[in-house]
Amino acid sequence: MKTFKLKQLQIVEFHSDTYQTVHIPLIDGLSINREDKENRWLIEAYTKRDLLDYFTELKETYKELIIHVKITTELNELATFITSIIGINQIGDNINILFLGTMVDQKTNKLEEILQQLMKEGNRGGDLLNKFKEYL
């Protein structure tokens, strides 16, 4: 396994006719390449407790999420992952959120172009996410 410092986390939210990227303020975090046969990564984000309801709703609503992360340094490109939230833990006045998923090999700008094209084709909500995963 290889462990990296998590520098930035963004959640991609899909709405009925669009999507938005939500920046999550981090206190700390790790990104761990498990180097298993499924090429899965474990991402731990440590953030303020006031985001507990937000992440609880995401976990209850979506089986899978698309997230963007920066690791090691702010100068690195964003990496995109298709993940599931596997845990939310309260730690004092803060929380940690555990994501398990796989990295998408394409750059974030290219992925946004794909999303925009799929939306122009009329894909929305859950259908948009399913078509996006098919494209990858």
Return the CATH class of domain 2-107: mainly beta
Residue of higher predicted confidence among 35 and 30: 30
pLDDT of residue 128: 76
Residue ranges of the domains in the chain?
2-107
Q: Which helix (H) or strand (E) holds 52?
A: helix 52-61
CA-nearest of 4, 2, 43, 1 to 24 is 43
Q: For residues 59 and 19, give the distance between their C-alpha atoms in angstroms, rounded to a whole number.
A: 18
Phi, psi angle pair for 20, to nearest 5°: -140, 155
Q: What is the pLDDT of residues 66-119, one digit of tens each?
A: 999 999 988 888 899 999 999 999 999 999 999 999 988 656 656 777 777 777
Which H helix or E strand runs over 112?
Answer: helix 108-120
Separation of CA 109 from chain center: 15
On the question of pLDDT at 26 being above 90, the answer is yes
